[in-house]
Amino acid sequence: MASSRERDVSSVCISDILSDVMAKVPRDAIWITNQAHENVIAIAFFKELTAVIFTNGAVPAMDAIDKANIKKIALYSCDLNAFDIAGRLYTLGLRGSY
């Protein structure tokens, strides 16, 4: 949906509790969530996350995607559930941080 320059990935987290991500996730992380609210993108921006992956085919509203484009946050929407997405990222060598 929205793309950015090549960036490092520090870790991966799965959470639908936005305040937890706000409190705990380190910068440059990938965030896997089923919440497609614009607040997700705002938090991804605050926390300087590398990317957000929306599970189960969730897609944010167009104006939220526009905001992510402006803020250079990569967004992905995937039909898989969080477990399967995380499994694939794990086999690529990525790990969680909290």
Partner 1 sequence: MRELSLHILDIVTNSIEAEASRVILWLEESVEKNLFSITVRDNGRGMSQEMIDAVIDPFVTTRTTRPVGMGLPLLRQAATSCGGELRIKSRIGKGTTLTASFLHNSLNRSPLGGIAETVVNLIIGAPDVHFLYGHRTDAGCFTFDSYWIYARMAELDCSQYMLVEPAQKWIMERLQSIASTA
User: Which region among 40-48, 54-62, 80-88, 89-97 touches partner 1 (by CB under 8 A)?
Assistant: 40-48
Separation of CA 91 from chain center: 18
Number of residues that bind partner 1 (CB under 8 A): 14
Measured in whole angstroms, the distance separating CA 92 from the mean position of its chain's CA atoms is: 17
| Out of 9, 22, 80, 94, the residue judged to bind partner 1 by CB under 8 A | 22
Least distance from partner 1 to the Cβ atom of residue 45, Å: 7
Give the H/E segment covering residue 67. Answer: helix 62-71
CA distance 16 to 24: 13
CB of 19 to partner 1, least distance (A): 4
Rounded CA-CA distance 13/98 in Å is: 8
Q: Please, which of residues 48-67 interact with partner 1 by CB under 8 A?
A: 67
Smallest distance from partner 1 to CB 37, Å: 5
